[in-house]
Structure formats: C-alpha cells, structure tokens
Amino acid sequence: KRCHLLTHQTKRLASERVIVTNHEAQSFPSNLGPLRMQFDRVLCDVPCSSDGTLRKAPDLWRRWSDKNGLGLHRLQLVIATRSAQLLRIGGRMVYSTCSMNPIENEA
C-alpha cells in the first residue's frame, strides 16, 4: 500500500529518473552482476519501534518496551550502511523513522 502511494505521488514529478522499490534494503540490488548502481539520492524508511506514533496508536503502549529499539538497531544500521554504499559521491541520503528513540534515529 505504501509503495503504491509513493509510486502514485512520484508520477506527478514526470521524471524518468525515479525508482520506487519494495525490497529488503540490506541486500538491494541483489543480483546485478558486474553492473554497479549508484544513486544521487536515497530515501531509507527503515523499520522502527513506532514509539513516535504512541499518541495516535494507544495500543502500542501495552506492547512498548525499551528493547524494541535495541532489537531493530542492527537491521537499521545494515540498511543505512547499504544505502550509503549506493550513493554517488556527493549524494544525499534521508534516513527516516517514526521513533523518538536516539538509538534508532542515530543508527
């Protein structure tokens, strides 16, 4: 659903230089052979504990734990590292979570 919405919104840009993917980011692209992809910009919307949405999703309070962020930190770091590898020199990476936990936001 989110990928569809993002695709719909980027069509308004009328650019042939936008790629929207829905893959495991830590291994993207998985098999390009000798071809090496480099991007000017990468948006990382990483999985997170969602503690930034507690006000609009009160059911999260019952399941919330400080360990939630710790459990995701390694995956977030791998995704951020892989994204940085895909950037051209001088490129820009946006790292996004819906968490207020510094461990998640500073992976």
89: left (phi over 0), alpha (psi -120 to 50) or beta: beta
Angle at 50 between CA 48 and CA 51, to 5 degrees: 125
pLDDT tens, N- to C-terminus, the chain (107 residues): 778 888 888 888 888 888 887 778 887 775 555 667 788 999 888 888 877 777 787 777 777 777 777 788 888 899 999 999 889 999 999 988 888 788 787 75
Query: Buried b vs exposed e over 47-63: b needs ≥16 C-beta within 10 Å?
Result: ebbbbbeeeeeeebeee
Which residue out of 3, 44, 48, 98 is catalytically annotated? 98
The pLDDT value recorded for residue 92 is 95
The answer to whether 3 is a known catalytic residue is no
